[in-house]
Structure 1
Amino acid sequence: MLLATAFFAGLVDAVAGGGGLIQVPALFAAYPNAQPATLLCTNKVASIGGTLNAARKFLHHVSLPWAIVLPAIIAGFFGSLLGANAVSNFPAEPLRKALPFVLLFLLLYTWFQPSLGEAHAPPLGKSRFQQCKGALLGLTIGFYDGFFGPGTGSFLLFGFVRLFAFDFLHASAATKLVNIATNLAAILMLASLGQINPPLGVAMMVANIAGSQLGSRLAIQHGSGFVRKAFLVVVSLLILKSAWNAYFLN
Protein backbone atom coordinates (compact mmCIF):
# COMPACT_ATOMS: atom_id res chain seq x y z
CA MET A 1 0.00 0.00 0.00
CA LEU A 2 2.81 2.41 0.87
CA LEU A 3 4.67 1.67 -2.37
CA ALA A 4 1.54 2.35 -4.44
CA THR A 5 1.00 5.56 -2.46
CA ALA A 6 4.61 6.64 -3.02
CA PHE A 7 4.26 6.03 -6.77
CA PHE A 8 1.14 8.21 -7.00
CA ALA A 9 2.68 10.87 -4.73
CA GLY A 10 5.72 11.02 -7.02
CA LEU A 11 3.48 11.46 -10.05
CA VAL A 12 1.48 14.31 -8.49
CA ASP A 13 4.53 16.00 -6.99
CA ALA A 14 6.41 16.01 -10.29
CA VAL A 15 3.57 17.92 -11.97
CA ALA A 16 2.40 20.45 -9.38
CA GLY A 17 3.80 19.62 -5.94
CA GLY A 18 1.68 18.35 -3.08
CA GLY A 19 2.90 14.75 -2.98
CA GLY A 20 3.05 14.95 0.79
CA LEU A 21 -0.74 15.34 0.76
CA ILE A 22 -0.86 11.68 -0.32
CA GLN A 23 2.26 10.19 1.23
CA VAL A 24 2.22 11.56 4.80
CA PRO A 25 -1.34 10.42 5.74
CA ALA A 26 -0.54 6.95 4.35
CA LEU A 27 2.57 6.69 6.54
CA PHE A 28 0.66 7.75 9.65
CA ALA A 29 -2.13 5.26 8.84
CA ALA A 30 0.34 2.40 8.32
CA TYR A 31 2.43 3.16 11.45
CA PRO A 32 0.07 4.78 13.98
CA ASN A 33 2.43 4.13 16.90
CA ALA A 34 5.62 5.43 15.29
CA GLN A 35 7.25 8.72 16.23
CA PRO A 36 5.79 11.49 14.01
CA ALA A 37 9.27 12.92 13.36
CA THR A 38 10.43 9.50 12.07
CA LEU A 39 7.50 9.29 9.66
CA LEU A 40 8.02 12.86 8.46
CA CYS A 41 11.71 12.13 7.86
CA THR A 42 10.77 8.93 5.99
CA ASN A 43 8.45 11.00 3.81
CA LYS A 44 11.31 13.40 3.04
CA VAL A 45 13.65 10.51 2.15
CA ALA A 46 11.03 8.99 -0.15
CA SER A 47 10.25 12.35 -1.77
CA ILE A 48 13.77 13.57 -2.41
CA GLY A 49 14.51 10.78 -4.89
CA GLY A 50 11.41 11.52 -6.95
CA THR A 51 12.09 15.26 -6.77
CA LEU A 52 15.68 14.78 -7.97
CA ASN A 53 14.50 12.63 -10.86
CA ALA A 54 11.79 15.10 -11.86
CA ALA A 55 14.29 18.00 -11.70
CA ARG A 56 16.71 16.09 -13.93
CA LYS A 57 14.01 15.48 -16.55
CA PHE A 58 12.77 19.07 -16.44
CA LEU A 59 16.29 20.46 -16.88
CA HIS A 60 16.68 18.50 -20.12
CA HIS A 61 13.73 20.44 -21.57
CA VAL A 62 13.77 23.89 -19.94
CA SER A 63 16.40 26.53 -19.28
CA LEU A 64 16.24 28.37 -15.95
CA PRO A 65 17.60 31.80 -14.94
CA TRP A 66 20.19 30.59 -12.43
CA ALA A 67 20.78 34.11 -11.08
CA ILE A 68 17.32 33.80 -9.50
CA VAL A 69 17.06 30.04 -8.88
CA LEU A 70 20.50 29.41 -7.32
CA PRO A 71 20.09 31.97 -4.48
CA ALA A 72 16.64 30.45 -3.80
CA ILE A 73 18.17 26.95 -3.58
CA ILE A 74 20.96 27.99 -1.18
CA ALA A 75 18.69 30.12 1.00
CA GLY A 76 16.04 27.36 0.97
CA PHE A 77 18.56 24.88 2.44
CA PHE A 78 19.52 27.16 5.32
CA GLY A 79 15.93 28.30 5.83
CA SER A 80 14.83 24.69 6.22
CA LEU A 81 17.59 24.05 8.78
CA LEU A 82 16.44 27.08 10.76
CA GLY A 83 12.81 25.98 10.55
CA ALA A 84 13.58 22.42 11.69
CA ASN A 85 15.60 23.83 14.59
CA ALA A 86 12.74 26.17 15.57
CA VAL A 87 10.11 23.42 15.78
CA SER A 88 10.82 22.66 19.42
CA ASN A 89 10.78 26.34 20.46
CA PHE A 90 7.65 27.72 18.79
CA PRO A 91 4.12 26.29 18.47
CA ALA A 92 2.95 25.35 14.97
CA GLU A 93 -0.74 25.73 15.87
CA PRO A 94 -1.16 29.31 14.50
CA LEU A 95 0.28 28.20 11.16
CA ARG A 96 -1.98 25.16 11.10
CA LYS A 97 -5.04 27.40 11.61
CA ALA A 98 -3.95 29.96 9.01
CA LEU A 99 -2.87 27.51 6.28
CA PRO A 100 -6.33 26.87 4.70
CA PHE A 101 -6.92 30.62 4.29
CA VAL A 102 -3.48 31.27 2.76
CA LEU A 103 -4.02 28.41 0.32
CA LEU A 104 -7.48 29.73 -0.51
CA PHE A 105 -5.92 33.07 -1.42
CA LEU A 106 -3.46 31.28 -3.76
CA LEU A 107 -6.31 29.34 -5.36
CA LEU A 108 -8.56 32.37 -5.93
CA TYR A 109 -5.71 34.57 -7.16
CA THR A 110 -4.62 31.96 -9.71
CA TRP A 111 -8.20 31.17 -10.75
CA PHE A 112 -9.08 34.81 -11.44
CA GLN A 113 -5.80 35.47 -13.27
CA PRO A 114 -6.15 33.04 -16.20
CA SER A 115 -3.12 34.51 -17.97
CA LEU A 116 -0.89 34.03 -14.90
CA GLY A 117 1.91 31.62 -15.72
CA GLU A 118 1.10 31.32 -19.42
CA ALA A 119 4.17 33.17 -20.70
CA HIS A 120 7.72 32.68 -19.48
CA ALA A 121 9.29 36.14 -19.15
CA PRO A 122 11.69 36.18 -16.16
CA PRO A 123 13.93 39.21 -15.59
CA LEU A 124 17.10 39.06 -17.68
CA GLY A 125 20.62 39.57 -16.36
CA LYS A 126 22.03 39.34 -12.85
CA SER A 127 20.10 42.02 -11.03
CA ARG A 128 21.05 42.17 -7.35
CA PHE A 129 17.42 42.96 -6.52
CA GLN A 130 16.16 39.83 -8.31
CA GLN A 131 18.83 37.71 -6.63
CA CYS A 132 17.76 39.03 -3.23
CA LYS A 133 14.12 38.31 -4.07
CA GLY A 134 15.05 34.74 -5.02
CA ALA A 135 16.99 34.29 -1.78
CA LEU A 136 14.12 35.72 0.26
CA LEU A 137 11.64 33.35 -1.41
CA GLY A 138 13.90 30.36 -0.72
CA LEU A 139 14.62 31.42 2.88
CA THR A 140 10.95 32.06 3.73
CA ILE A 141 9.49 28.91 2.16
CA GLY A 142 12.50 26.86 3.28
CA PHE A 143 11.91 27.94 6.89
CA TYR A 144 8.23 27.05 6.50
CA ASP A 145 9.12 23.61 5.09
CA GLY A 146 11.47 22.82 7.94
CA PHE A 147 9.08 24.16 10.58
CA PHE A 148 5.71 22.90 9.29
CA GLY A 149 5.72 21.76 5.65
CA PRO A 150 2.29 21.17 4.04
CA GLY A 151 1.90 23.01 0.74
CA THR A 152 5.60 23.89 0.35
CA GLY A 153 5.67 22.93 -3.34
CA SER A 154 2.51 24.93 -4.05
CA PHE A 155 3.91 28.03 -2.31
CA LEU A 156 7.18 27.79 -4.26
CA LEU A 157 5.39 27.25 -7.56
CA PHE A 158 3.15 30.26 -6.98
CA GLY A 159 6.14 32.34 -5.85
CA PHE A 160 8.15 31.71 -9.02
CA VAL A 161 5.12 32.44 -11.21
CA ARG A 162 3.99 35.59 -9.40
CA LEU A 163 7.32 37.14 -8.35
CA PHE A 164 9.49 36.27 -11.35
CA ALA A 165 7.02 35.86 -14.27
CA PHE A 166 7.87 32.17 -14.82
CA ASP A 167 5.36 30.06 -16.68
CA PHE A 168 4.01 27.07 -14.75
CA LEU A 169 6.34 24.58 -16.45
CA HIS A 170 9.53 26.52 -15.65
CA ALA A 171 8.21 27.32 -12.17
CA SER A 172 7.64 23.62 -11.55
CA ALA A 173 11.24 22.87 -12.56
CA ALA A 174 12.59 25.62 -10.26
CA THR A 175 10.34 24.42 -7.43
CA LYS A 176 11.83 20.92 -7.65
CA LEU A 177 15.37 22.26 -7.23
CA VAL A 178 14.53 24.37 -4.18
CA ASN A 179 12.48 21.52 -2.71
CA ILE A 180 15.49 19.19 -3.00
CA ALA A 181 17.49 21.60 -0.85
CA THR A 182 14.75 22.05 1.77
CA ASN A 183 14.12 18.29 1.98
CA LEU A 184 17.84 17.53 2.29
CA ALA A 185 18.21 20.02 5.15
CA ALA A 186 15.26 18.50 7.02
CA ILE A 187 16.58 14.96 6.47
CA LEU A 188 20.02 15.90 7.83
CA MET A 189 18.50 17.60 10.87
CA LEU A 190 16.10 14.74 11.69
CA ALA A 191 18.62 12.00 10.91
CA SER A 192 21.10 13.61 13.31
CA LEU A 193 18.44 13.14 16.00
CA GLY A 194 17.97 9.46 15.05
CA GLN A 195 14.52 10.09 13.55
CA ILE A 196 14.90 8.04 10.37
CA ASN A 197 13.85 4.65 8.96
CA PRO A 198 16.28 4.05 6.05
CA PRO A 199 14.88 0.73 4.66
CA LEU A 200 11.31 2.03 4.43
CA GLY A 201 12.44 5.42 3.13
CA VAL A 202 14.58 3.91 0.37
CA ALA A 203 11.88 1.43 -0.71
CA MET A 204 9.34 4.24 -0.98
CA MET A 205 11.92 6.40 -2.77
CA VAL A 206 12.19 3.85 -5.59
CA ALA A 207 8.41 3.89 -6.05
CA ASN A 208 8.37 7.70 -5.81
CA ILE A 209 11.01 7.94 -8.57
CA ALA A 210 8.92 5.69 -10.82
CA GLY A 211 5.90 7.94 -10.28
CA SER A 212 7.95 11.08 -10.92
CA GLN A 213 9.08 9.63 -14.26
CA LEU A 214 5.47 9.52 -15.43
CA GLY A 215 4.49 12.84 -13.84
CA SER A 216 7.38 14.83 -15.30
CA ARG A 217 6.77 13.29 -18.74
CA LEU A 218 3.11 14.37 -18.58
CA ALA A 219 4.06 17.91 -17.51
CA ILE A 220 6.66 18.31 -20.26
CA GLN A 221 4.39 16.81 -22.90
CA HIS A 222 1.30 18.88 -22.06
CA GLY A 223 3.00 22.12 -20.96
CA SER A 224 2.10 24.99 -18.66
CA GLY A 225 -1.68 24.75 -19.12
CA PHE A 226 -1.67 21.20 -17.79
CA VAL A 227 0.56 22.14 -14.83
CA ARG A 228 -1.73 25.10 -14.01
CA LYS A 229 -4.80 22.84 -13.89
CA ALA A 230 -2.97 20.29 -11.75
CA PHE A 231 -1.84 23.10 -9.44
CA LEU A 232 -5.44 24.27 -8.95
CA VAL A 233 -6.59 20.71 -8.16
CA VAL A 234 -3.73 20.08 -5.71
CA VAL A 235 -4.26 23.39 -3.89
CA SER A 236 -8.02 22.70 -3.65
CA LEU A 237 -7.31 19.34 -2.02
CA LEU A 238 -4.74 20.92 0.29
CA ILE A 239 -7.34 23.47 1.41
CA LEU A 240 -9.83 20.73 2.26
CA LYS A 241 -7.29 18.57 4.06
CA SER A 242 -5.63 21.39 6.01
CA ALA A 243 -9.03 22.81 7.05
CA TRP A 244 -10.15 19.36 8.22
CA ASN A 245 -6.93 18.86 10.21
CA ALA A 246 -7.04 22.36 11.75
CA TYR A 247 -10.72 22.72 12.61
CA PHE A 248 -12.48 19.34 12.62
CA LEU A 249 -9.94 16.67 13.54
CA ASN A 250 -9.52 16.17 17.28
Structure 2
Amino acid sequence: MMTEIALLCVAAFFAAFVDSIAGGGGLISLPAFMITGISPHMALGTNKFSSTCASFTSSIKFAQSGKVDFKILKFLLPFTLVGAVMGTHTMLKINAGYLNSIVMVLLLFVSIYSVFSKNVGMEDKFKVLKKKSIFLGILLAFSLGFYDGFFGPGTGSFLIFGLIYIFNFDFVRSGGNSKVLNFTSNITSLSVFLINGQIDYRLGIPAAISMIIGSRLGASTAILKGSKLIRPIFITISLCLSVKIFYGIVK
Protein backbone atom coordinates (compact mmCIF):
# COMPACT_ATOMS: atom_id res chain seq x y z
CA MET A 1 0.00 0.00 0.00
CA MET A 2 2.84 2.41 0.83
CA THR A 3 4.38 1.77 -2.60
CA GLU A 4 1.07 2.60 -4.30
CA ILE A 5 0.76 5.84 -2.32
CA ALA A 6 4.37 6.79 -3.14
CA LEU A 7 3.81 6.25 -6.87
CA LEU A 8 0.51 8.12 -6.69
CA CYS A 9 2.25 11.09 -5.04
CA VAL A 10 4.88 11.20 -7.79
CA ALA A 11 2.14 11.18 -10.46
CA ALA A 12 0.15 13.80 -8.54
CA PHE A 13 3.19 16.09 -8.33
CA PHE A 14 3.80 15.98 -12.08
CA ALA A 15 0.07 16.31 -12.82
CA ALA A 16 -0.17 19.51 -10.75
CA PHE A 17 3.08 20.87 -12.19
CA VAL A 18 1.81 20.47 -15.76
CA ASP A 19 -1.72 21.60 -14.93
CA SER A 20 -0.56 24.86 -13.36
CA ILE A 21 1.31 25.66 -16.58
CA ALA A 22 -1.07 24.57 -19.34
CA GLY A 23 -4.00 22.61 -17.91
CA GLY A 24 -4.63 18.92 -18.53
CA GLY A 25 -3.22 17.56 -15.28
CA GLY A 26 -6.12 15.13 -15.00
CA LEU A 27 -4.57 13.25 -17.90
CA ILE A 28 -1.93 12.09 -15.39
CA SER A 29 -3.64 12.17 -12.00
CA LEU A 30 -6.97 10.44 -12.71
CA PRO A 31 -5.41 7.27 -14.21
CA ALA A 32 -3.02 7.21 -11.24
CA PHE A 33 -5.97 7.12 -8.83
CA MET A 34 -7.70 4.46 -10.94
CA ILE A 35 -4.62 2.20 -10.79
CA THR A 36 -4.93 2.04 -6.97
CA GLY A 37 -8.08 -0.04 -7.43
CA ILE A 38 -10.72 2.31 -6.00
CA SER A 39 -14.05 2.66 -7.83
CA PRO A 40 -14.37 5.13 -10.74
CA HIS A 41 -16.65 7.45 -8.76
CA MET A 42 -14.29 7.37 -5.78
CA ALA A 43 -11.34 8.05 -8.10
CA LEU A 44 -13.13 11.05 -9.63
CA GLY A 45 -14.05 12.45 -6.22
CA THR A 46 -10.61 11.90 -4.69
CA ASN A 47 -8.92 13.40 -7.75
CA LYS A 48 -11.23 16.40 -7.53
CA PHE A 49 -10.30 16.85 -3.86
CA SER A 50 -6.57 16.82 -4.59
CA SER A 51 -6.78 18.93 -7.75
CA THR A 52 -8.89 21.55 -5.97
CA CYS A 53 -6.10 21.97 -3.42
CA ALA A 54 -3.65 22.34 -6.31
CA SER A 55 -5.72 24.89 -8.25
CA PHE A 56 -6.13 26.95 -5.07
CA THR A 57 -2.35 26.96 -4.54
CA SER A 58 -1.51 27.98 -8.12
CA SER A 59 -4.27 30.62 -8.06
CA ILE A 60 -2.63 32.26 -5.05
CA LYS A 61 0.81 32.14 -6.70
CA PHE A 62 -0.45 33.75 -9.92
CA ALA A 63 -2.38 36.37 -7.94
CA GLN A 64 0.71 37.26 -5.88
CA SER A 65 2.60 37.81 -9.14
CA GLY A 66 -0.04 40.18 -10.51
CA LYS A 67 -1.22 37.74 -13.22
CA VAL A 68 -4.86 37.65 -12.10
CA ASP A 69 -7.35 40.34 -13.16
CA PHE A 70 -9.99 40.53 -10.44
CA LYS A 71 -11.64 43.51 -12.19
CA ILE A 72 -12.54 41.07 -14.96
CA LEU A 73 -13.08 37.98 -12.82
CA LYS A 74 -15.72 39.72 -10.68
CA PHE A 75 -18.00 39.50 -13.72
CA LEU A 76 -17.04 35.93 -14.63
CA LEU A 77 -16.77 34.03 -11.34
CA PRO A 78 -20.49 34.04 -10.42
CA PHE A 79 -21.34 32.50 -13.80
CA THR A 80 -18.64 29.86 -13.41
CA LEU A 81 -20.18 28.95 -10.05
CA VAL A 82 -23.72 28.75 -11.43
CA GLY A 83 -22.54 26.77 -14.46
CA ALA A 84 -20.65 24.28 -12.28
CA VAL A 85 -23.66 23.73 -10.02
CA MET A 86 -25.93 23.10 -13.02
CA GLY A 87 -23.34 20.90 -14.71
CA THR A 88 -22.76 18.74 -11.65
CA HIS A 89 -26.48 18.20 -11.07
CA THR A 90 -26.93 17.37 -14.77
CA MET A 91 -24.03 14.91 -14.57
CA LEU A 92 -25.88 12.95 -11.90
CA LYS A 93 -28.80 12.39 -14.29
CA ILE A 94 -27.31 12.15 -17.78
CA ASN A 95 -24.58 10.01 -19.32
CA ALA A 96 -21.66 12.22 -20.35
CA GLY A 97 -20.35 9.72 -22.89
CA TYR A 98 -21.73 11.46 -25.98
CA LEU A 99 -19.56 14.52 -25.20
CA ASN A 100 -16.37 12.60 -25.99
CA SER A 101 -16.47 13.20 -29.74
CA ILE A 102 -17.26 16.91 -29.38
CA VAL A 103 -14.48 17.49 -26.85
CA MET A 104 -11.95 15.58 -28.94
CA VAL A 105 -12.70 17.71 -32.02
CA LEU A 106 -12.54 20.96 -30.01
CA LEU A 107 -9.21 20.03 -28.41
CA LEU A 108 -7.77 19.15 -31.82
CA PHE A 109 -8.95 22.51 -33.16
CA VAL A 110 -7.40 24.39 -30.22
CA SER A 111 -4.05 22.62 -30.56
CA ILE A 112 -3.87 22.90 -34.38
CA TYR A 113 -4.91 26.56 -34.29
CA SER A 114 -2.20 27.24 -31.70
CA VAL A 115 0.43 25.47 -33.82
CA PHE A 116 -0.27 27.50 -36.96
CA SER A 117 -1.05 30.81 -35.21
CA LYS A 118 2.42 31.27 -33.80
CA ASN A 119 1.76 34.74 -32.35
CA VAL A 120 -1.37 33.79 -30.41
CA GLY A 121 -0.78 34.16 -26.68
CA MET A 122 2.85 35.19 -27.06
CA GLU A 123 2.25 38.85 -26.19
CA ASP A 124 -0.13 40.48 -23.72
CA LYS A 125 -2.21 42.81 -25.93
CA PHE A 126 -5.05 43.51 -23.50
CA LYS A 127 -5.85 47.25 -23.46
CA VAL A 128 -9.43 48.19 -22.55
CA LEU A 129 -12.21 46.12 -21.00
CA LYS A 130 -15.12 46.26 -23.45
CA LYS A 131 -18.75 45.26 -22.95
CA LYS A 132 -18.44 42.72 -25.77
CA SER A 133 -15.45 41.12 -24.05
CA ILE A 134 -17.31 40.96 -20.74
CA PHE A 135 -20.30 39.31 -22.44
CA LEU A 136 -18.12 36.74 -24.23
CA GLY A 137 -16.16 36.15 -21.01
CA ILE A 138 -19.40 35.46 -19.13
CA LEU A 139 -20.47 32.96 -21.80
CA LEU A 140 -17.07 31.27 -21.57
CA ALA A 141 -17.16 31.18 -17.76
CA PHE A 142 -20.68 29.75 -17.59
CA SER A 143 -20.13 27.20 -20.38
CA LEU A 144 -16.85 25.86 -19.02
CA GLY A 145 -18.14 25.96 -15.45
CA PHE A 146 -21.03 23.77 -16.61
CA TYR A 147 -18.66 21.56 -18.61
CA ASP A 148 -16.25 21.12 -15.69
CA GLY A 149 -19.07 20.12 -13.39
CA PHE A 150 -20.60 17.81 -16.00
CA PHE A 151 -17.57 16.18 -17.62
CA GLY A 152 -14.23 17.94 -17.09
CA PRO A 153 -11.33 16.86 -19.34
CA GLY A 154 -9.60 19.81 -21.00
CA THR A 155 -11.33 22.54 -18.97
CA GLY A 156 -8.04 24.29 -18.12
CA SER A 157 -6.86 24.21 -21.74
CA PHE A 158 -10.19 25.55 -23.02
CA LEU A 159 -10.12 28.36 -20.44
CA ILE A 160 -6.59 29.41 -21.36
CA PHE A 161 -7.40 29.45 -25.08
CA GLY A 162 -10.73 31.23 -24.56
CA LEU A 163 -9.26 33.99 -22.40
CA ILE A 164 -6.46 34.57 -24.91
CA TYR A 165 -8.99 34.87 -27.73
CA ILE A 166 -11.47 37.13 -25.88
CA PHE A 167 -9.14 39.41 -23.89
CA ASN A 168 -5.91 39.21 -25.93
CA PHE A 169 -3.96 37.96 -22.92
CA ASP A 170 -0.65 36.16 -23.24
CA PHE A 171 -0.36 32.58 -22.01
CA VAL A 172 0.90 33.58 -18.55
CA ARG A 173 -1.87 36.06 -17.77
CA SER A 174 -4.49 33.78 -19.29
CA GLY A 175 -3.15 30.89 -17.19
CA GLY A 176 -3.43 32.93 -14.00
CA ASN A 177 -7.04 33.92 -14.63
CA SER A 178 -8.00 30.45 -15.82
CA LYS A 179 -6.68 28.94 -12.58
CA VAL A 180 -9.01 31.10 -10.47
CA LEU A 181 -11.98 30.21 -12.66
CA ASN A 182 -10.99 26.54 -12.62
CA PHE A 183 -10.68 26.57 -8.83
CA THR A 184 -14.22 27.96 -8.58
CA SER A 185 -15.72 25.18 -10.69
CA ASN A 186 -13.54 22.56 -8.97
CA ILE A 187 -14.63 23.43 -5.46
CA THR A 188 -18.26 23.52 -6.55
CA SER A 189 -18.04 20.01 -8.00
CA LEU A 190 -16.04 18.86 -4.99
CA SER A 191 -18.91 19.79 -2.67
CA VAL A 192 -21.14 17.28 -4.48
CA PHE A 193 -18.57 14.50 -4.08
CA LEU A 194 -18.19 15.44 -0.39
CA ILE A 195 -21.94 15.21 0.21
CA ASN A 196 -22.04 11.79 -1.49
CA GLY A 197 -18.99 10.47 0.40
CA GLN A 198 -16.96 9.81 -2.75
CA ILE A 199 -13.52 10.81 -1.42
CA ASP A 200 -10.81 8.44 -0.16
CA TYR A 201 -8.83 10.67 2.20
CA ARG A 202 -6.24 7.94 2.76
CA LEU A 203 -5.14 8.53 -0.85
CA GLY A 204 -6.44 12.05 -1.32
CA ILE A 205 -4.47 13.80 1.43
CA PRO A 206 -0.98 12.54 0.42
CA ALA A 207 -1.81 13.26 -3.23
CA ALA A 208 -3.09 16.73 -2.32
CA ILE A 209 0.17 17.57 -0.51
CA SER A 210 2.15 16.48 -3.57
CA MET A 211 -0.13 18.48 -5.85
CA ILE A 212 0.25 21.61 -3.72
CA ILE A 213 4.03 21.38 -4.07
CA GLY A 214 3.81 20.62 -7.80
CA SER A 215 1.32 23.39 -8.55
CA ARG A 216 3.35 26.02 -6.71
CA LEU A 217 6.53 25.00 -8.55
CA GLY A 218 4.68 24.87 -11.89
CA ALA A 219 3.12 28.30 -11.43
CA SER A 220 6.51 29.77 -10.47
CA THR A 221 8.07 28.21 -13.57
CA ALA A 222 5.31 29.56 -15.82
CA ILE A 223 5.68 33.07 -14.42
CA LEU A 224 9.47 32.95 -14.71
CA LYS A 225 9.76 31.37 -18.17
CA GLY A 226 6.68 32.97 -19.73
CA SER A 227 4.74 32.17 -22.90
CA LYS A 228 7.69 30.59 -24.73
CA LEU A 229 7.54 27.71 -22.26
CA ILE A 230 3.76 27.54 -21.87
CA ARG A 231 2.85 27.47 -25.58
CA PRO A 232 4.54 24.15 -26.51
CA ILE A 233 3.34 22.48 -23.30
CA PHE A 234 -0.20 23.79 -23.93
CA ILE A 235 -0.21 22.36 -27.48
CA THR A 236 1.21 19.01 -26.33
CA ILE A 237 -1.33 18.63 -23.51
CA SER A 238 -4.25 19.53 -25.81
CA LEU A 239 -3.13 16.91 -28.35
CA CYS A 240 -2.59 14.26 -25.65
CA LEU A 241 -6.04 14.89 -24.21
CA SER A 242 -7.68 14.56 -27.63
CA VAL A 243 -5.79 11.30 -28.30
CA LYS A 244 -6.78 9.94 -24.89
CA ILE A 245 -10.45 10.73 -25.53
CA PHE A 246 -10.26 9.23 -29.04
CA TYR A 247 -8.77 6.06 -27.55
CA GLY A 248 -11.67 5.93 -25.10
CA ILE A 249 -14.17 6.20 -27.98
CA VAL A 250 -12.69 3.43 -30.14
CA LYS A 251 -11.83 1.11 -27.23
TM-score norm. by structure 2 comes to 0.92
Match of 1:70 in 2: 74
Counterpart position of 1:4: 10
Alpha-carbon distance in structure 1 between the residues aligned to 2:209 and 2:79: 28
Match of residue 166, structure 1, among 166, 169, 175: 169
* Matches for 1:162-201 after TM superposition, within 5 Å: 162-201=165-204
Tell me, yes or no, if the aligned pair for 2:133 and 2:166 is still in contact at 8 Å.
no
Asked whether 1:27 is paired with 2:33, we answer yes
CA distance in 1, matches of 2:245, 2:178: 21
Looking at structure 2, the residues matched to 63 and 156 of structure 1 have their Cα atoms a distance apart, in angstroms, of 15
Correspondence list, 1:31-180, <5 A: 31=37, 34-125=38-129, 127-180=130-183
Task: Say if 2:67 and 2:176, in contact at 8 Å, map to a contact too.
Answer: no
The one-letter amino acid of 1:140's match is: S
**Larger displacement relative to structure 2 (62-71 or 47-56):** 62-71
Q: State the distance in 1 between where 2:78 and 2:135 align.
A: 12
Residues 63 and 103 (structure 1), Cα distance of their counterparts in 2 relative to 1, 3 Å cut: closer
How far off its partner does 1:63 sit?
4.1
**Is residue 50–residue 207 contact of structure 2 (8 Å, CA) maintained in 1?**
yes
Which secondary structure does the structure 2 equivalent of 1:166 belong to?
A: coil
Q: Within 2, Cα distance between the matches of 1:91 and 1:152? A: 18
Deviation at 1:89, TM superposition (A): 2.6
Q: State the aligned residue count.
A: 245
Give 1:185 deviation, angstroms. 0.5
**Cα deviation, residue 98, structure 1:** 2.2
Deviation at 1:212, TM superposition (A): 1.2
Listed one character per residue, the Cα deviations across residues 105-126 of structure 1 (whole Å, up to 9, x for unaligned) are 111111111010112122524x
Assess, with a 3 A threshold, how the Cα gap between structure 1 residues 63 and 11 changes in structure 2: closer, same or farther. closer
Query: Partners of 1:38 and 1:234 in 2: how far apart?
Result: 25
Asked if the contact 1:9/1:22 (under 8 Å) is kept, the reply is yes
Give, in angstroms, the shift of residue 92 of structure 1: 1.3
Amino acid at match of 1:196: I
**Are 1:13 and 2:19 counterparts?**
yes
2:226 aligned counterpart, secondary structure = helix
Cross-structure match for 1:203: 206
Who is 2:4 aligned against?
none
Q: Are 1:2 and 1:27, in contact at CA under 8 Å, matched by a contact in 2?
A: yes
Q: Which runs of 5+ in 1 are unaligned?
A: none
TM-score by length of 1: 0.93
| Cα distance between partner residues in 1 of 2:13 and 2:68 | 27
8 Å contact from structure 1 (residues 67, 131) kept in 2: no
Distance 1:207 1:64, change over 3 A: closer
Measure, in 2, the Cα distance between the counterparts of 1:135 and 1:73.
8
Shift of 1:90: 2.4
**Offset of residue 228 of structure 1:** 0.9
Secondary structure of the corresponding residue to residue 89 of structure 1: coil
Q: Is the 8 A contact 1:77 1:184 kept in 2?
A: no
Which of 216, 219, 224 does residue 216 from structure 1 map onto?
219
Alignment RMSD: 1.5
Q: Could you say which residue in structure 2 is the equivalent of 1:239? A: 242
Between 69-78 and 106-115, the greater mean CA deviation after superposition: 69-78
Identity %: 33
Contact 2:62 2:68 in 1 (8 A): no
- Is the Cα–Cα contact under 8 Å of residues 58 and 215 in structure 2 kept in the other structure? yes
Q: Distance in 2 between matches of 1:210 and 1:88?
A: 32
Instruction: State the SS of the aligned residue for 1:122.
Output: coil
